[in-house]
Structure 1
């Protein structure tokens, strides 16, 4: 079941490799073009991932603040970090996810290279391909030719022998591809680790080239890690993990390129070289874009702050005017009350002495005569 699923995963990659080989006639060029197309297919996803990684890098200071603030409360820290990621549109896993995409492609390419009859030539299914392998193996052994390759790379040896000695078998099996595995004078099916044992028989470009493939692969992988880290400034544990990955990935690429066919080393070199160019371009593009977005957000925040300040000033002025109006009305009311009281007081104290009798200011009236009753009494 798993082998069937693996076969159908490899089929589209094998078809792409076969297309480029038929167009160019070069196995090495086909691998490079294969790598380029895969990079182009993955580009939209990697662009989104790169933007998220750079944004996260630029927000590392804020992330550190949250981690320090809630260092003793893991649940609260996770909640605040999640809220922060949502507000800023950051996916912390996006960068890690897409950085591992080359590995399954590398695995698929490995099967295509080591089993060219089943995958690269594609006779209509895994069972049909294995039937062709069995027929070719029987023909070779019937001719007294001994197979020396281990089981993992047996199909490569079978294909080479059929291509060189049994043209009739090729004619009988439609779909057979006469593959030339050489590129720049190197046999891309050979393992670089085997070149060291052959140096005792003499130094040649083929042996030196095979040894150089893993070294170049590791060097470019290291350069890629340096470029990526220079654009994604990290602090704390993230920086330590990044430095570890900066050394781990090149060492892994060197190891893989040494123990597997040289064709995989060519893929890894092309993958790293294209990734360096991609990272440099996307890093500069998204850094400038995010700086412009941050500047726009800052200007928007400043404009909003000034607007709120102006609204507060206007509200304060309105409140001051309303308070002044209330104070003025209060003063007017008080003044009116005081005027009324003064008027009443004035009215109470404005009579002449001619009308007063003791404490009674109006007791005499206008017709008062002091001696009115004196004559009558006499």
Structure 2
């Protein structure tokens, strides 16, 4: 897992270092970092909401299919997939943004856990020496380079034992000390993990740190509730599983709060602004995708899909592959079903079926080697 953090964290580390060099404040750098990443993700968000808007046009047709095949779930699925193919809509299009968000989160976590590496750009050898010093002072056997929190723990130890790190090269002591003063939000160290049991009591720093997870959950709730309101406004027809979606609207913010209490406050601070900017972008795109504009876009996309299919007749679309897989699965199920039913036939019928299979095999062998084959119809049970 640490290797994954390292790989994804490198490009984000370069970006964060550049932003920090411009603003020279860690909290401001996180906000600007969020803005930049949201701008980079805007084409994906645009495509996702365009697909969602087009899906809303299909809802009347989908609802009609649900009523027509209410007692035949398998046929309903087939007809839905055919409709998606005809309209050129990918119902799985929303999975990509979710994957990218997860990918982005890994990078953010690594950058916040390792500010000495990514922002101060200090070499690995010097950091290893600093971690060894911190380990010797604290006696913590878990304080090693494999520990994701090792740099934050070393920075914390350096505050009280700065002289122990004076011999390290690359101006380690001065760089980390200066950065530690700017690694804050209103005086609260963003490298610390929020807790309801602060060691120094309920200081200003402890209160700010505890507020961050709740603000992260509240901002997530804002995005979720707005999404549900917009969904009901544009598609008042109740969809299957709506109750589960309502529950998730409130469960996800609670999970965000819980998780923000397990990681450094800087990550929760990032989530707050990520949700805020996500809300702004979603609201703006929803205003842009009016029903009239979506109808025009839908016709344009259908025409593009038709032209592409004509130019690439042998290239299968996502929905075509889904339909073929569904057909193959049905054939397999039919085969299993027929073999299961065969166990219920009489002995004579089973023997006849076996003889027919044997005759067919003999006939094919004879054809293969150019021999003649005469069917023996006088075999008895």
Change (3 A) 1:79 1:98: same
Corresponding residue pairs, total = 287
Within-5 A mapping of 1:294-309: none
- 1:256 aligned to 2:298? no
* Contact preservation (8 Å) 1:7, 1:119: no
The corresponding residue for 1:38 is 37
- Give, in whole Å, the separation in 2 of the partners of 1:179 and 1:67: 60
- 1:190 aligned to 2:192? yes
* Contact preservation (8 Å) 2:2, 2:148: no
TM-score (norm 2): 0.66
Structure 2 residue ranges without an equivalent (≥5): 301-381
* Contact preservation (8 Å) 1:121, 1:175: no
- 1:281 aligned to 2:277? no
1:102-155 deviation digits (Å, cap 9, x = unpaired) = 2332222222222334444455xxxx62x333211344566x566698644222
- Give, in whole Å, the separation in 2 of the partners of 1:141 and 1:261: 20
The corresponding residue for 1:97 is 96
The corresponding residue for 2:216 is 217
- Give, in whole Å, the separation in 1 of the partners of 2:277 and 2:11: 21
The corresponding residue for 1:159 is 155
- The offset of 1:60, in angstroms, is 2.1
1:155-187 deviation digits (Å, cap 9, x = unpaired) = 212134457443552536699665331122211
Within-5 A mapping of 1:1-378: 3-4=2-3, 6-122=5-121, 129=124, 131-140=125-134, 144=137, 151-162=147-158, 164-165=162-163, 166-171=165-170, 178-180=178-180, 181-193=183-195, 196-198=196-198, 202-233=201-232, 235-290=238-293, 293=296
TM-score (norm 1): 0.67
- Give, in whole Å, the separation in 1 of the partners of 2:148 and 2:297: 54
- The offset of 1:205, in angstroms, is 2.2
- The offset of 1:190, in angstroms, is 1.1
- The offset of 1:54, in angstroms, is 2.3
- Give, in whole Å, the separation in 1 of the partners of 2:171 and 2:228: 55
- The offset of 1:206, in angstroms, is 1.4
Change (3 A) 1:228 1:135: same
- The offset of 1:8, in angstroms, is 2.3
CA RMSD in angstroms, aligned pairs only: 3.2
- SS in structure 1 of the partner of residue 192 of structure 2: coil
- SS in structure 2 of the partner of residue 237 of structure 1: coil
- Give, in whole Å, the separation in 1 of the partners of 2:70 and 2:3: 49
* Contact preservation (8 Å) 1:57, 1:232: no
1:181-203 deviation digits (Å, cap 9, x = unpaired) = 1122211011112xx2128x553
- SS in structure 2 of the partner of residue 93 of structure 1: coil
1:315-355 deviation digits (Å, cap 9, x = unpaired) = xxxxxxxxxxxxxxxxxxxxxxxxxxxxxxxxxxxxxxxxx
1:295-327 deviation digits (Å, cap 9, x = unpaired) = 999xxxxxxxxxxxxxxxxxxxxxxxxxxxxxx
- The farther-off stretch of 288-297 and 234-243 is 288-297
- Give, in whole Å, the separation in 2 of the partners of 1:208 and 1:149: 28
1:56-108 deviation digits (Å, cap 9, x = unpaired) = 23432321211221233344322321222233332211224314532332222
- Give, in whole Å, the separation in 2 of the partners of 1:219 and 1:24: 27
- Which protein has greater RCO, CA pairs closer than 8 Å, 6+ apart? 2
Change (3 A) 1:238 1:61: farther
* Contact preservation (8 Å) 2:51, 2:89: yes
* Contact preservation (8 Å) 1:170, 1:176: no
- Give, in whole Å, the separation in 1 of the partners of 2:211 and 2:270: 14
